[in-house]
Amino acid sequence: MYNVGFSALLCLLFVCCKAMPTQLSQEAVNDRPVIGVLTQLVSDDILKPFGRTFIPSSYVKYLESGGSRVMPIRLTLTTAEYENIFKKINGLMFIGGAADLETSDFARVAKIFYRLALTANDAGDFFPIWGTCMGMQLLTVLVAGENLLTRTTAENVALPLNLTAETKSSLMFRGFPDELLKAVTQEPLTGNFHTYGVTVKTFHENEKLRSFFSLLSTNVAESGAHFISTIEGKRYPFYGVQWHPEVNRFQWNSQLNFPHSAHAVQLSSLLAEFFVNEGRRSLHRFDNPEEEASSLIYKYTPVYAGNFTGYEQLYFF
Q: Where are the extended beta strands (E) located within the chain? A: 34-38, 40-41, 53-56, 69-73, 92-94, 129-132, 150-159, 162-163, 190-197, 213-220, 226-233, 238-241, 303-304, 313-316
**Catalytic residue (one of 194, 244, 263, 284):** 244
- Cα distance between residue 203 and residue 54, in whole Å: 31
Q: Is 133 a catalytic residue?
A: yes
Q: Is 17 a catalytic residue?
A: no
**Catalytic residue (one of 133, 194, 263, 284):** 133
- Cα distance between residue 291 and residue 25, in whole Å: 29
The catalytic site residues sit at 133, 244
